[in-house]
Structure 1
Amino acid sequence: MKIAIASDHAGFCQKPAMVEYLKSLGHEVIDFGPQSADRVDYPDFADKVARSVAAGKAERGVLICGTGIGMALTADKVAGVRAAVIQSPLFAHLFREHNDGNVVCMSGRFTPFDVNKAIVDEFLTTEFGGGRHAGRVQKIMREDDPGFGGVEC
Structure 2
Amino acid sequence: MRIALINENSQAAKNPLIYQALRKVADRLGYEVDNYGMYSAEDSAQLTYVQNGILAAAILNAGAADFVVTGCGTGEGAMLALNSFPGVICGHVESPLDAYTFAQINDGNAIALPFALGFGWGGDLNLEYIFEKLFSEPFGGGYPKERVVPEQRNKKILDEVKKHSYRQNLVEIFRELDPELVRGAFAGEKFSELFFAHCKDAEIGDYIRSIL
Q: TM-score, normalised by structure 1?
A: 0.84
- For structure 1, the residue ranges without an aligned partner over 5 or more in a row are 149-153
* Distance in 2 separating the partners of 1:94 and 1:144: 21
The aligned residue for residue 67 of structure 1 is 74
Structure 1 residue runs of 4+, over 6 Å off? Answer: none
2:32 matches 1:14: no
Larger of the two Rg values belongs to structure: 2
Identical aligned residues as a percent: 24
Contact 1:12–1:64 (8 Å) recurs in 2: no
- 1: CA distance between counterparts of 2:136 and 2:125? 17
Structure 2 CA distance, aligned partners of 1:119 and 1:65? 16
Change over 3 Å in CA distance of 1:13–1:144 after alignment to 2: same
Give the CA deviation at 1:147: 6.4
Aligned pair 1:136/2:147, yes or no? no
Which structure has greater helix proportion? Answer: 2
Structure 2 portions without partners, runs of 5+: 142-147, 167-212
| CA displacement at 1:3 relative to structure 2 | 0.5
Name the amino acid aligned to 1:136. Answer: N
Per the alignment, do residues 131 and 77 of structure 1 end up closer, same or farther by CA in structure 2, a change over 3 Å counting? same
Cα distance, 1:69 vs structure 2: 0.7
Partner of 1:151: none
Number of aligned residues: 148
1:35 equivalent in structure 2: 39
Task: Give how far 1:66 is off.
Answer: 0.5
RMSD across aligned C-alpha pairs, in angstroms? Answer: 2.0
